[in-house]
Every structure is written in C-alpha cells, then in structure tokens.
Amino acid sequence: MTYKPSPAPAPSSTPALPLWAWRLAFGSCALAVLVLALVPTDVPVPSTGWDKSNHLLAFSVMVLLGRRACPGRTAAVLAALLAYGALIEVLQSFTPNRSAQLQDLAADAVGLALGCGLDRLTHVMRRLRNRQQA
C-alpha cells in the first residue's frame, strides 16, 4: 500500500476557530503574562532563562493571538500591546524585587515585530501551498 497524503483544506479567509475562542485565548494569555510579570522574583515561574527572551516570546504569542482575536485591526492590536507592555513596566516599578526597564519595553516591541513577521510568513506559505495544489 502506498502512502497518499490527504488533501489540504480549502483556503479560507476566516480562522479555523470561532472568534470567541481566539478572544478567550488572547485574554487568557494577556492575563498570564501580567501575572508572570508581577509575581515576586523569589517565586519560581516558567522562564526561557533570559528576561529579554521572556518578553520576546510573550509579546510574539500575544500579537499572534491578538491578530486573530481582532481580525483587520493589526495597528490597534500592536498599539494596545505596546501600551500593555509599558503598563506592565510601570506596575513592576511598584512590585517588590521588580523594576521597570526601558530595555524590557524594547524587547516587547521586538517581540511584536517578530510575531507579526511570523504571522505574515505563515500566511504567505499557506497561500503558496494552496496555489501549488490548485
């Protein structure tokens, strides 16, 4: 018996999950990031091992979820997430054993750019794959 790959799903302009699911995932992720950012440093939390990469990862994931939770509103999602990063830094300045750092906000911005780039790359790759199968 030979292996025959299953056909790819038909191209779609809507996400595979309902909008409410993307919004729930986005809100849950944003809440988790806030909690992880404000928990005292003596409490063990999941980490990449480097503070700046934690910011890159968190904001890359949040922008991927945010773009799906608010389709067609990329600029608003980016602005809101950058403001969210700034708010987290302000709140950290009031948290024991935490401090606000401009470098963290810069890492957030780089994470947003990486997340947008990754999202765009997957979109282009999906279109190319669909075009090849047509």
* pLDDT tens over the chain, length 134 residues: 554 444 434 445 545 899 999 999 999 999 999 999 999 878 888 888 888 999 999 999 999 999 999 999 999 999 999 999 999 999 999 998 889 999 999 999 999 999 999 999 998 999 999 888 87
Domain boundaries defined on the chain = 51-133
pLDDT of residue 116: 95
39, 34, 76: which is closest to 59 by C-alpha? Answer: 34
Query: DSSP assignment, residue 122?
Result: H
> What three-state secondary structure class fits 6?
coil
Provide CB contacts within 8 A for 51, sequence distance 6+: 104, 107
C-alpha–C-alpha distance, residues 31 and 119, integer Å? 22
> What three-state secondary structure class fits 17?
coil
123, 112, 122: which is closest to 57 by C-alpha? Answer: 112
pLDDT of residue 13: 53
Give the pTM.
0.82
pLDDT of residue 2: 56
pLDDT of residue 67: 96
pLDDT of residue 5: 42
pLDDT of residue 72: 93
